[in-house]
């Protein structure tokens, strides 16, 4: 079956992004855009695409949720033994993209990756609902399993193990921080003449430049 999507075209008309509106610090602009996305986007404004690379140079892409950001970088959590966890530990670079269609905006971020501290991982883990905490013990993420029944049996075992105690954070589960070297802000414009402002890290300062759409 063949699908034609050539006529699926949207004209972007909401807003623009000019240098006079853009702060020198990209974190300030990201914070503003993110707060506006929280107000406007209907579901998961913190959803992002995360790209990693394996030992053969093969890129891998998936959707997950941002769990925090500040001037140190952008934080997310995962099983360190999952495919993305192993890739990030072996090759600590990554890229992430946020797409906010209601605002006609995109943010691309690239940089090195580091593990967050145990204290940060513990604090976030304890803030999660009980089911999510038990799930971190249950799932051998990215590994092949025999079926749904295996997962349910593993969950039942974990629930029995921690029936009378709070589950601690699994040693194989925690956070990563993407420390950006590049952040690009994309704002849709009519006729595909979009605004693109890129911030590049140079020692202790950010260089801002405009890219052609």
What token pair was written down for 186? 């994309």
Whether residue 78 is annotated as binding a ligand: the answer is: yes
Whether residue 84 is annotated as binding a ligand: the answer is: yes
Whether residue 123 is annotated as binding a ligand: the answer is: no
Whether residue 62 is annotated as binding a ligand: the answer is: yes
201 contacts: CB under 8 Å, gap ≥ 6: 111, 180, 181, 182, 207
Whether residue 64 is annotated as binding a ligand: the answer is: yes
Q: Point out which residues pair with 109 in neighbouring strands.
A: 96, 183
Whether residue 154 is annotated as binding a ligand: the answer is: no
Q: How far apart are CA 82 and CA 140, in angstroms?
A: 7
Q: How far apart are CA 62 and CA 139, in angstroms?
A: 18
Helix residue ranges, H only, 3-82: 26-40
Q: How far apart are CA 112 and CA 129, in angstroms?
A: 30
Whether residue 199 is annotated as binding a ligand: the answer is: no
Whether residue 108 is annotated as binding a ligand: the answer is: no
Whether residue 127 is annotated as binding a ligand: the answer is: no
Closest CA to 77 of 166, 154, 169, 158: 169
Whether residue 2 is annotated as binding a ligand: the answer is: no
Q: Which of 112, 192, 207, 210 is catalytic?
A: 192
Residue 192 among the catalytic residues: yes
Report the C-alpha dihedral over residues 31, 178, 83, 157, rounded to 10 degrees. -70
Whether residue 155 is annotated as binding a ligand: the answer is: no
The residue assigned the tokens 């911030």 is 199
Whether residue 197 is annotated as binding a ligand: the answer is: no
What token pair was written down for 182? 């590049």
The residue assigned the tokens 């589950």 is 167
Q: What residues are labeled active site? A: 192
Residues making up the binding site for substrate? 67, 124, 128, 132, 192-194
Residues making up the binding site? 62-67, 77-78, 84, 106, 124, 128, 132, 141-142, 186, 192-194, 196
Residues making up the binding site for FMN? 62-67, 77-78, 84, 106, 141-142, 186, 196
């Amino acid at each position: 079956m063949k699908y034609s999507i050539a006529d699926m075209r949207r004209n972007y008309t909401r807003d623009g992004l000019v240098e006079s509106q853009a702060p020198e610090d990209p974190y300030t602009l990201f914070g503003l855009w993110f707060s506006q996305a929280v107000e406007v986007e209907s579901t998961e404004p913190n959803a992002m695409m995360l790209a990693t690379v394996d030992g053969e140079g093969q890129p891998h892409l998936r959707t997950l949720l941002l769990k925090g950001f500040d001037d140190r970088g952008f934080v997310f959590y995962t099983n360190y033994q999952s495919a993305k966890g192993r890739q990030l530990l072996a090759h600590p670079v990554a890229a992430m993209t946020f797409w906010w269609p209601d605002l006609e905006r995109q943010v691309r971020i690239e940089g090195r990756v580091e593990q967050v501290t145990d204290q940060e991982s513990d604090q976030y883990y304890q803030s999660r609902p009980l089911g999510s905490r038990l799930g971190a013990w249950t799932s051998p993420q990215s590994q092949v399993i025999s079926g749904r029944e295996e997962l349910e049996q593993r969950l039942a075992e974990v629930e029995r193990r921690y029936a009378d105690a709070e589950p601690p954070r699994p040693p194989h589960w925690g956070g990563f921080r993407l420390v950006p070297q590049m952040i690009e802000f994309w704002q849709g414009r009519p006729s595909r003449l979009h605004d693109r402002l890129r911030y590049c890290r140079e020692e202790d300062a950010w260089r801002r430049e405009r890219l052609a759409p």
